[in-house]
């Protein structure tokens, strides 16, 4: 049986490390940091719950909140290419910092980019 991305990331502990590193890095990106509440504890927990299922592990987010409806939940925030690229920069560095292997990094990079791009809801000049 083939390992899931969740297992390859390191299970619960690995996903938590990835999420924590991501939010630590996000502190340096004002354009996306300002879209979050001052206290990031809830944001960290929701991303952990979501990524657990998204990576092929337990569907923790769905169990707690129902279908993620990612695009709908992000519509209140102005997200363009700059915000997408800042989010991706944080996630790329977080994946490198937690030591994901090359193949897993490349696979997740493509999936994260596709998802991040889908969240865009404003034109570049807006």
Environment class of 30 (CB within 10 Å of its CB; exposed 0-12, middle 13-18, buried 19+): exposed
Predicted TM-score (pTM) of the model is: 0.93
Q: In CATH, what number does 5-118 get? A: 1.10.490.10
The one-character DSSP state at 4 is: P
Q: pLDDT band for 124, please (50, 70, 90 cuts).
A: low
pLDDT tens digit sequence for 27-48 = 999 999 999 999 999 999 999 9
């Amino acid at each position: 049986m083939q390992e899931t991305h969740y297992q390859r990331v390191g299970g619960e502990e690995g996903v938590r490390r990835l999420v924590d590193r991501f939010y630590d890095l996000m502190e340096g990106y004002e354009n996306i940091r300002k879209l979050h509440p001052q206290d990031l504890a809830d944001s960290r927990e929701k991303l952990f719950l979501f990524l657990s299922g998204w990576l092929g592990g337990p569907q923790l987010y769905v169990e707690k909140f129902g279908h993620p409806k990612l695009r709908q939940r992000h519509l209140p925030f102005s997200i363009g290419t700059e915000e997408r690229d800042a989010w991706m920069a944080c996630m790329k560095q977080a994946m490198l910092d937690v030591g994901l292997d090359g193949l897993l990094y490349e696979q997740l990079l493509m999936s994260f980019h596709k998802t991040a791009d889908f969240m865009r809801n404003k034109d570049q000049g807006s």
